[in-house]
């Protein structure tokens, strides 16, 4: 029997970690009440040593199988072990740390001495009555087949890069690009005081009585007001930025987050767009609150996490509707005439309609923090989840049927539509004015993240043709809008970039400065020599190092090399991406593009075939191969690749249009017309498909 590489002695990785700079017990000496509340929190159990007090699961020799992978969980002496068997190979791994606690607990094992990986099976720590107290594979709820890139030995299951900075305090990743090695360190194993508080030596030396807390303001509501408003000093956004550091979908751009520093000085956020969010802005993928909350009226009003959640226990301050009624008038909002449901029912709870949720990782239910209201018409037009339909399917199906004869495609050209509805139309892929994203990015009725997202949804071709409109956004007062504008500036004509982007190299936010360097590309060469330019370039290098342990990071390094005119280095980085992250299809696509630019179509096909051999369900690889075959006039082979690509992604109109064009080229007009008839409605309604359909009908006469 072949053995997986495994480490049987106590893991040497423990010695790589720093000792606490200021341990929780040091803080607890003065802050006993806060420390006691923290002990009740999920933060306190974010990560722990594998001992009976921390292990939630049963390690009594249980065996579980999932699609060719078998795991056995057992103890040996005082140690906890996981045995993993797959494809004739078996490895026995001691559990190094627990990870989380409820509603599931994961376990970390060593894979080589410099990194930890997440065991692919987790423990459902809910009660038996709720379906818990069992082992399950983390991909069970995702699809019918395992996702190769989520294999437990691959980078996306790596603790050092994917998980560590949000589960430990003072985390420094310490990834060495040249050696492809980690030397990760933390100051506290779990999410402790230093995750949220930057404690100076002066503070530590102060006596307890000299530490004062100053109330800066409060929420007030008169009897005539439906909702409370904030009075007093403006609230400090940096408090929220500290929460966002972990509760967001983002990429790190520094090696360590420092509490109290701006979010955009350490992270690059993801925008509110598909596939991460639905067309109306509802959560889709696991987005961790930031993008949802930024869209909300609550955020616009100045509400913070700490208005609803206790800072130390993380628990809700009040249960049920009482939490919302801290600020919202009970006589107005906690009545049947408002929520239209029986007062004692679940449907009468504010969160039921205003914070719908979704279950992630099979058992973890999380609520959407947009605080929106259900709108069946909006859901219907954007294709988003209809909350009313979830409970009233019969009534809503009848409502839809009655509307069927009058329903029209949303075409946003009229100023009579609300800004929010136009934003939904743009985000959900409706046919809109090509300049709509520019217009919405200047719309005062939308919040910053919506305006920034709208700007990012402008097509590269339009950005290139209207630099004047992008220039307005580059000067925005909103950090998020400026960041989106700088990202879009990559598509500007090269001669305009130095003039428009040079000022952004000195922007107040590191994320903007780093992106400005990337968008300038080769044009930055003419600006070098200035200290601010050199500093921004150093910051960009640091940002690229943070994700270089996975395919996306090496791809970015390859793009950087291309911008600097170093094709050889770009090829090396993409080859390294394939080595360390073999199931990331972006490295194959981009390496194929380099060979195509060099006129070597033979190598293009070789690279794409290699990628397809590893990731056969990656539609972009099949599509790219088809384009290469078309360039070589291999139309029949191209049709086979296009068929695969369009069947893998049936809603992708680019793949469908290419397939129709090749069918037309080889004279298979009837087949093309039949294909259009069987296409999804969204594809049939695409303007290009409609035009091709007319052309094919004429050709068939």
Domain-ending residue, one of 155, 175, 202: 155
Q: Which residues, at least 6 apart from 429, have a Cβ–Cβ distance to it below 8 Å?
A: 274, 279, 682
Looking at the fold, whether 129 and 78 belong to one and the same domain comes out as yes
Q: Are 326 and 318 in contact (CB under 8 A)?
A: yes
Q: How far is CA 600 from CA 317, 604, 620, in A?
A: 64, 7, 20
Looking at the fold, whether 37 and 148 belong to one and the same domain comes out as yes
Per the rule left: phi > 0, alpha: psi between -120 and 50, beta: everything else, 87 is left
Question: CATH number, domain at 597?
Answer: 1.25.40.10
Question: Three-state SS for 405?
Answer: coil
Its domain, for residue 694, covers 652-701
Q: How far apart are CA 409 and CA 216, in angstroms?
A: 50
pLDDT band at 205 (very low <50, low <70, confident <90, very high): low
Looking at the fold, whether 40 and 119 belong to one and the same domain comes out as yes
Looking at the fold, whether 625 and 640 belong to one and the same domain comes out as yes
Question: Encoding tokens for residue 385?
Answer: 């989840």
Q: Looking at residue 406, what is its pLDDT? A: 45
Q: Are 523 and 535 in contact (CB under 8 A)?
A: no
Mean pLDDT of the 541-548 span: 94
Q: Are 249 and 271 in contact (CB under 8 A)?
A: no
Looking at the fold, whether 51 and 89 belong to one and the same domain comes out as yes
Q: Is the pLDDT of residue 420 over 60?
A: yes
Domain-ending residue, one of 155, 182, 200: 155
Looking at the fold, whether 642 and 676 belong to one and the same domain comes out as no
Total domains in the chain come to 3
Q: Is 416 exposed, middle or buried (0-12, 13-18, 19+ CB in 10 A)?
A: exposed
Among 156, 118, 122, 116, smallest CA distance to 11 is for: 116
Report residue 563: phi and psi, to 5°. Answer: -60, -30
Per the rule left: phi > 0, alpha: psi between -120 and 50, beta: everything else, 50 is beta
Question: Encoding tokens for residue 454?
Answer: 């709208």
Looking at the fold, whether 568 and 701 belong to one and the same domain comes out as no
pLDDT band at 682 (very low <50, low <70, confident <90, very high): confident
Give 240's DSSP letter: H
What does pLDDT average to over the chain?
89
**Residue 310 counted as domain residue:** no
**Residue 675 counted as domain residue:** yes
Per the rule left: phi > 0, alpha: psi between -120 and 50, beta: everything else, 68 is left
Helices 635-648 and 619-631 cross at an angle (nearest 10°) of 160
Mean pLDDT of the 626-647 span: 96
Q: How far apart are CA 28 and CA 31, in angstroms?
A: 5
pLDDT band at 16 (very low <50, low <70, confident <90, very high): very low
Q: Are 521 and 493 in contact (CB under 8 A)?
A: no
Query: Which of these ranges, 19-23, 163-167, 352-356, has the smallest mean pLDDT?
Result: 19-23
Looking at the fold, whether 63 and 107 belong to one and the same domain comes out as yes
Question: Encoding tokens for residue 650?
Answer: 């049936």
- Rounded to two decimals, the pTM is 0.89
Q: Looking at residue 25, what is its pLDDT? A: 55
Element spanning 257, H or E: none
Looking at the fold, whether 612 and 687 belong to one and the same domain comes out as no
**Residue 119 counted as domain residue:** yes
**Residue 693 counted as domain residue:** yes
Q: How far is CA 450 from CA 212, 266, 424, 477, 493, in A?
A: 38, 21, 10, 15, 26
Looking at the fold, whether 593 and 673 belong to one and the same domain comes out as no
Q: Is the pLDDT of residue 207 over 70?
A: no
Which residues face 3 on adjacent strands? 90
């Amino acid at each position: 029997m072949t053995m997986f590489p495994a480490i049987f002695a106590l893991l040497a990785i423990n010695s790589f970690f720093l000792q606490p700079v200021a341990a929780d017990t040091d803080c607890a000496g003065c802050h006993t009440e806060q420390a006691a509340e923290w002990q009740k929190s999920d933060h306190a159990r974010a990560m722990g040593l594998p001992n009976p007090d921390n292990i939630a699961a049963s390690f009594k020799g249980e065996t579980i199988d999932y699609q060719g992978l078998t795991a056995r969980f057992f103890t040996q002496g005082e140690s906890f072990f996981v045995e993993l068997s797959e494809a004739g190979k078996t490895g026995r791994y001691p559990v190094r740390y627990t990870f989380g606690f409820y509603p599931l607990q994961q376990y970390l094992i060593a894979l080589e001495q410099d990194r930890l990986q997440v065991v692919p099976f987790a423990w459902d720590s809910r009660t038996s009555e709720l379906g818990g107290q069992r082992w399950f594979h983390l991909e069970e709820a995702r699809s019918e087949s395992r996702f190769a890139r989520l294999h437990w030995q691959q980078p996306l299951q790596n603790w050092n890069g994917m998980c560590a900075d949000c589960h430990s305090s003072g985390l420094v990743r310490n990834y060495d690009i040249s050696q492809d090695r980690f030397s990760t360190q933390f100051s506290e194993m779990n999410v402790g005081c230093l995750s949220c508080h930057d404690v100076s030596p002066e503070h530590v030396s102060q006596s307890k009585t000299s530490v004062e807390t100053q109330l800066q303001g409060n929420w007030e509501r008169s009897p005539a007001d439906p909702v409370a408003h904030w009075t007093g000093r403006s609230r400090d956004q940096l408090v929220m930025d500290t929460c966002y550091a972990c509760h967001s979908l983002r990429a790190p751009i520094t090696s360590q987050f420092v509490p109290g520093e701006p979010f955009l000085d350490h992270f690059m956020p993801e925008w509110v767009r598909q596939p991460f969010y639905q067309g109306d802005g509802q959560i889709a993928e696991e987005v961790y609150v930031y993008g949802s909350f930024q869209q909300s009226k609550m955020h616009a009003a100045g509400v913070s996490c700490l208005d609803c959640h206790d800072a130390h226990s993380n628990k809700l301050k009040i249960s049920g509707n009482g939490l919302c009624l801290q600020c919202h008038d009970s006589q107005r909002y906690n009545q049947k005439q408002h929520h239209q449901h029986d007062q004692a029912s679940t449907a009468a709870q504010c969160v039921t309609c205003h914070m719908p949720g979704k279950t992630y990782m099979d058992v973890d239910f999380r609520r959407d923090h947009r605080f929106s209201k259900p709108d069946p018409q909006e859901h219907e037009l954007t294709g988003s989840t209809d909350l009313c339909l979830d409970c009233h399917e019969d009534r809503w199906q009848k409502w839809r049927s009655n509307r069927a004869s009058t329903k029209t495609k949303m075409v946003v050209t009229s100023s009579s539509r609300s800004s929010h509805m136009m934003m939904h139309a743009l985000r959900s892929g409706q046919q809109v004015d090509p300049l709509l994203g520019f217009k919405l990015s200047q719309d005062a009725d939308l919040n910053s993240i919506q305006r920034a997202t709208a700007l990012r949804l402008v097509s590269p071709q339009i950005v290139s043709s209207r630099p004047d409109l992008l220039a307005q956004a580059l000067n925005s007062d909103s950090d998020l809008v400026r960041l989106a504008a700088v990202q879009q500036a990559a598509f500007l004509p090269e001669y305009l970039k130095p003039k428009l982007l040079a000022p952004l190299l000195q922007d107040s936010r590191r994320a903007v400065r780093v992106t400005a360097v990337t968008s300038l590309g080769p044009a930055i060469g003419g600006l070098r020599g200035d200290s601010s330019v050199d500093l921004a370039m150093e910051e960009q290098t640091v940002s690229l190092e943070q994700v270089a342990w996975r395919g996306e990071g090496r791809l970015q390094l390859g793009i950087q090399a291309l911008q600097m005119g170093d094709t050889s280095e770009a090829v090396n980085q993409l080859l390294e991406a394939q080595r360390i992250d073999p199931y990331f299809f972006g490295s194959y696509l981009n390496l194929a593009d380099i060979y195509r630019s060099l006129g070597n179509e033979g190598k293009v096909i070789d690279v794409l075939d290699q990628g397809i051999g590893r990731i056969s369900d990656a539609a972009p690889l099949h599509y790219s191969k088809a384009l290469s075959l078309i360039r070589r006039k291999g139309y029949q082979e191209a049709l086979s690749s296009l068929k695969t690509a369009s069947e893998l992604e049936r809603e992708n109109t680019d793949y469908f249009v290419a397939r129709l064009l090749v069918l037309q080229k080889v004279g298979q007009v009837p087949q093309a017309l039949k294909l259009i008839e069987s296409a999804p409605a969204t594809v049939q309604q695409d303007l290009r498909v409609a035009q091709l359909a007319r052309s094919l009908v004429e050709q068939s006469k």
